[in-house]
């Protein structure tokens, strides 16, 4: 693997203005193979941290780094850690992690801000955190990419958001998610527009936790498997502990980087 490089001035500016930056094809095929195999194993867990579709197939596993050493190593991979430290100008801790798989005709994710829940429920004071996405599949316009409103992080916390008790996953994560109302969404889109976030397998997405985003149903036969690691500056932690640990951090220790080949040391058999 090549030496880890920092973000360019142009990439930093794109993140600050748009609210996110996409780094294509960072991880190798070998690293993706480790992460895909790990995802398949962890998604077999029987616990409440795994949310399922109506047919019983897994949709999300919350707190993935708590359940497997390979995912814990991923949180400290320098290709992730150095860019977020550069953008936040701080050491960081993991507030939340998850596996997210878009099966054919599976769940949608309503428009929301991660910071809406992190602030209102978990007590995180400021939106000084980043949602790190790792693409294990090619993400295109065909397999329900994340849709996001560029510049929406500059609007701060969207106070008009509400908890929707009618959504299908209300008894799971949605009971803590503040969805964006239609009027607010229309206003934000009129102001900023919408973009689809796409990229080949191995891509890293770095998104400000206040960006308004969501995703629709995947009607294609093309799987969309993503990993998310949501980090926050070490002095920007929540202490309400209203949610289980697999949703929100109890460990606020700053992440320390491993070697760039940290994922390749695991048994491939």
Cα 85 from Cα 88, distance rounded (Å): 5
262 in any annotated domain: no
Residue 39 confidence (pLDDT) above 50? yes
Q: Which domain holds residue 127?
A: 15-232
Closest to 240 (Cα-Cα) out of 131, 158, 117 = 117
pLDDT, tens digit (0-9, with 9 covering 90-100), for 220-252: 999 999 999 999 999 999 989 999 999 999 999
What Rg, from alpha-carbon coordinates, does the chain have? 17
202 in any annotated domain: yes
7 in any annotated domain: no
65 in any annotated domain: yes
For residue 68, the 8-state DSSP code is -
Tokens of 188: 């934000």
Number of domains in the chain: 1
For residue 226, the cross-strand partners are: 100, 135
256 in any annotated domain: no
So what's the pLDDT on residue 170? 40
So what's the pLDDT on residue 265? 84
Model pTM score: 0.92
- Per-residue pLDDT band for 5 (boundaries 50, 70, 90) equals confident
246 in any annotated domain: no
Average the pLDDT over 88-105 and give the result: 96
- Per-residue pLDDT band for 268 (boundaries 50, 70, 90) equals low
9 in any annotated domain: no
Cα 216 from Cα 240, distance rounded (Å): 31
Average the pLDDT over 131-142 and give the result: 98
Residue with the bigger pLDDT between 267 and 262: it is: 262
pLDDT, tens digit (0-9, with 9 covering 90-100), for 156-178: 988 655 555 554 544 444 566 66
Residue 17 confidence (pLDDT) above 80? yes
For residue 50, the cross-strand partners are: 61
Tokens of 17: 């203005």
Mean pLDDT over each residue of the chain, to the nearest integer: 92
247 in any annotated domain: no
Average the pLDDT over 19-23 and give the result: 98
CATH code of the domain in which 207 resides: 2.60.120.620
- Per-residue pLDDT band for 14 (boundaries 50, 70, 90) equals very high
């Amino acid at each position: 693997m090549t030496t880890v490089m920092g973000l360019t001035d142009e990439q930093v500016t794109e993140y600050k203005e748009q609210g996110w930056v996409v780094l294509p094809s960072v991880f190798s095929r070998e690293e993706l193979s480790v992460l895909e195999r790990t995802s398949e194993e962890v998604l077999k867990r029987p616990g409440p941290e795994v949310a399922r579709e109506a047919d019983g197939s897994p949709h999300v596993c919350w707190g993935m780094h708590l359940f497997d050493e390979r995912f814990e190593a991923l949180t400290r991979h320098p290709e992730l850690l150095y860019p977020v430290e550069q953008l936040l100008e701080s050491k960081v801790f993991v507030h939340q992690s998850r596996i997210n798989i878009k099966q054919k005709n599976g769940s949608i994710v309503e428009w929301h801000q991660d910071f809406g829940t992190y602030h209102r429920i978990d007590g995180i004071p400021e939106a000084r955190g980043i949602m790190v996405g790792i693409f294990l599949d090619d993400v295109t316009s065909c397999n329900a990419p994340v849709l996001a409103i560029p510049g929406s992080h500059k609007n701060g916390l969207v106070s008009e958001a509400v908890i929707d008790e009618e959504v299908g996953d209300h008894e799971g994560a949605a009971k803590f998610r503040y969805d964006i109302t239609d009027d607010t969404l229309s206003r934000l889109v009129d102001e900023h527009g919408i973009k689809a976030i796409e990229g080949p397998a191995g891509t890293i997405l770095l998104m400000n936790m206040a960006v308004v985003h969501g995703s629709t149903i995947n009607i294609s036969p093309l799987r969309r498997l993503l990993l998310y690691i949501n980090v926050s500056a070490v002095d920007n932690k929540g202490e309400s502990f209203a949610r289980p640990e697999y949703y929100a951090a109890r460990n606020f220790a700053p992440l320390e980087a491993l070697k760039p080949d940290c994922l390749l040391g695991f048994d491939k058999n």
